[in-house]
Amino acid sequence: MSGFRMSMLLPILAVLSVAVWGGGLGTIFIVLNATGLEEWGAIGVGLGLVVGVPSIAGLLAMPRGGS
């Protein structure tokens, strides 16, 4: 029975996490559009996500130097 619960729980958690993440980003973009930055604020945040997230992931994945 535990396996069945886990097989139902993981997809539900995945859907909820995607909904929260997307809703949070959508809210940020709407709030930025309502400020004086308007579209440029959303462009800045989007560019930061597109460039920043892979850059940070790449830096974290690099092997550490030294012995």
Has residue 49 been placed in a domain? yes
Q: Report helix, strand or coil for 1.
A: coil
Has residue 39 been placed in a domain? yes
Has residue 55 been placed in a domain? yes
Quote the pLDDT of residue 24: 95
Has residue 57 been placed in a domain? yes
Has residue 2 been placed in a domain? no
Cut 0.85: pTM above it: no
As averages over each run of 10 residues, the pLDDT of the chain (67 residues) reads 84 96 94 90 92 96 80
How many domains does the chain divide into? 1
44: containing domain: 22-61
Spell out the SS3 assignment of 22-66: HHHHHHHHHHHHHCCCCHHHHHHHHHHHHHHHHHHHHHHHCCCCC
Has residue 67 been placed in a domain? no
